[in-house]
Amino acid sequence: MTIRTFGPLVSGEWLADHLDEVRVVDVRWYVDTDRGGRSGRAAYEAGHLPGAVWLDVDTDLSDPASATAGRHPLPAPERFAGALGRVGIAAGPPVVAYDDDGGSKAARLWWMLRALGEPVAVLDGGLAAWPGTLSTDVPQPVPVERAPRPWPSGPFVEADDLLADGRAIYDARTAERFAHGDPAIDPRPGHVPGARSAPWGENLDATGRFRSPTELRERFAAARERGAIAYCGSGVTACHDLLAMELAGIESTALYTGSWSQWGADPSRPAETGA
């Protein structure tokens, strides 16, 4: 296997045949966790792919939340390197990320490792696509030293540069949240001016797997010549849109990590409402 032939998706059957050649990461996380809802860690412990380790979206793949930076700011290089090293993931070996929600959380880890030039893929169809049995044995990986690497500027866009960038802007939240917001999690109604609604769930077909590249090229037609920036509520599910664009062969894409949780929390930034 080489980096050029690996990813960005793998099937359950492929993963079963190559399980000993990759590092598997469970990225299950739920938006209601901090309100007494489901726990990604508990879901992992109840049954996961054999040998998989678990990384937390809140603490491993993000810096602490704040109104100025958003709910899931990009983690400091030291935090991200430390999280990967803690679960024994050195630089270089290919990684497969999965969740139980169509890849909507796994895509965050995919985008971050991709930004660093690491070989990484998402399990197409998520946990449901795994053809084998699940394990409750929690691995005890040997920690490794992993040098922090600065985040490159290309795959990420800051709030102050968003509107002047010139690329098409896509909002991966549901159409309802795009138009009106959700008072439980959005700082105010609306969306970034000029953004297009592109709910991440519509990247998938009826089986829960990604649509064909042809369908995805049609879905993100505005990005084919201009490139694109994706955002969502906090910079997690936007990565699903970016993965879909990768499958469509669209180049010059970037993540607005702060997303609406940062943009909407600043009353000086403009907002549009409605569809």
Catalytic residue among 232, 236, 244, 265: 232
Dist CA 50 CA 33 (whole Å): 24
| Number of residues that make up the chain | 275
DSSP string spanning the chain?
A: --GGGS-SEE-HHHHHHTGGGSEEEE----TTGGGT---HHHHHHH-B-TT-EE--TTTTSSPPPBTTTBSSPPPPHHHHHHHHHHTT--SSS-EEEE-SSTTTTHHHHHHHHHHTT--EEEETTGGGG--S--B-----PPP------PPPSTTEE-HHHHTTS-SEEEE-S-HHHHHH--TTT-SSS-B-TT-EE--GGGGB-TTSSBPPHHHHHHHTTTHHHH-EEEE-SSSSTHHHHHHHHHHTT--SEEEESSHHHHHTT-TTS--B---
> How many CB atoms neighbour CB 206 within 10 A?
6
Residue with tokens 């894409």, as numbered in its chain: 253
Nearest C-alpha neighbor of 108 from the set 163, 39, 162, 156: 156
Residue at 179: amino acid letter:
A
Q: What is the pTM of this model?
A: 0.96
**Per-residue pLDDT at 3:** 44
What's the token pair of residue 34? 């901090």
Asked if residues 217 and 224 have their Cβ atoms less than 8 Å apart, the reply is yes
Cis peptide leading into residue 73 (ω within 30°): no
At residue 32, the pLDDT reads: 81
Query: Which pLDDT belongs to residue 5?
Result: 64
Contact of 220 with 203, CB cutoff 8 Å:
no
Is 239 one of the catalytic residues?
no
Q: Give the Cβ contact number of residue 181 at 10 Å.
A: 21
Please give the pLDDT value at position 35.
65
Which residue ranges form the domains of the chain, and what is each CATH number?
A: 3-129 (3.40.250.10), 156-263 (3.40.250.10)
Question: What pLDDT sits at residue 34?
Answer: 66
Q: What is the mean pLDDT of each run of 10 residues along the chain (275 residues)?
A: 71 97 97 80 98 98 96 98 98 97 98 97 98 97 97 97 97 97 95 98 98 98 96 98 98 98 98 93
Query: Which pLDDT score, from 0 to 100, does residue 2 have?
Result: 46
